A = this chain, B = another copy of it.
Amino acid sequence: MRLFAHRGYEATTLQAVAEVVGISKQAILHHFRSKEELHAAVLAELVGHWQRTLPQLLLTAGATKVRFDAVFSELLAFFARDPDRARIVLRELLDRPEESRKLLKDVVGPWMEAIAAYIRVGQERGVHRAEVDVEAYLVQVLQIAMAGTATAEVTSVLLGEGTAGRERFAKELARIAQASLFTPRHANAEISARSTHKEGT
């Protein structure tokens, strides 16, 4: 996974994988009938992990805003914990559009609809802005969490190296996601509630 994520499928040779793992190339071909199958297994493992993690992530108890915070930061942490996840998914989207479409439709689609429904309730209650195109919003947030993490190593040249840059990235992304979702009153309440932690506006 590390190699596929960093160099891409084509640029990753079985030989290189073997060396990293510490066995021979043919040992790999013993466990996986082909390079393609190995790649599929890596992807399946990733999707599996996701599907095991996501439910409990979404079911974390708490009030509306707290839950938003929890889910959102957990989503970001999921990618940040291992940026290769973001990289490999992004590569997959670029390299195999057709297969990705199916995967997106089948595994992301349902979850997105669930969260979308949740947001729509908030819209009716006036907590979330009425103008939000819920699905589009979710796609964007998901996408920037992913792409942002995948390219963090590079964009750090603009935002600062190490944790400092990542912190800025994460914080601003959270701010954007909130500011564009919650109605001004709620958003302000949220922001002032947060800033008391450090700055105390």
Contacts and interface: CB of A to CB of B under 8 A. Distances in A.
Interface stretch (A24-32, A41-49, A53-61, A150-158): A150-158
A168 B136 contact: yes
Contact of A139 (B10, B11, B101, B159): B159
Interface string A104-130: 110011001000000000000000010
A101 B159 CA distance: 12
Contacts of A143: 144, 147-148, 151, 155
Contact of A154 (B100, B144, B187, B188): B100
The number of chain A residues touching the other chain, given as a range, is 35 or more
Contacts of A100: 154
B154 A97 contact: yes
A9 B10 CA distance: 9
A172 interface: yes
Interface of A: 7-11, 87, 90-91, 93-95, 97, 100-101, 104-105, 108-109, 112, 129, 131-133, 135-137, 139-140, 143-144, 146-148, 150-151, 153-155, 157-159, 168-169, 171-173, 175-176, 179-180, 184, 187-188, 191, 195
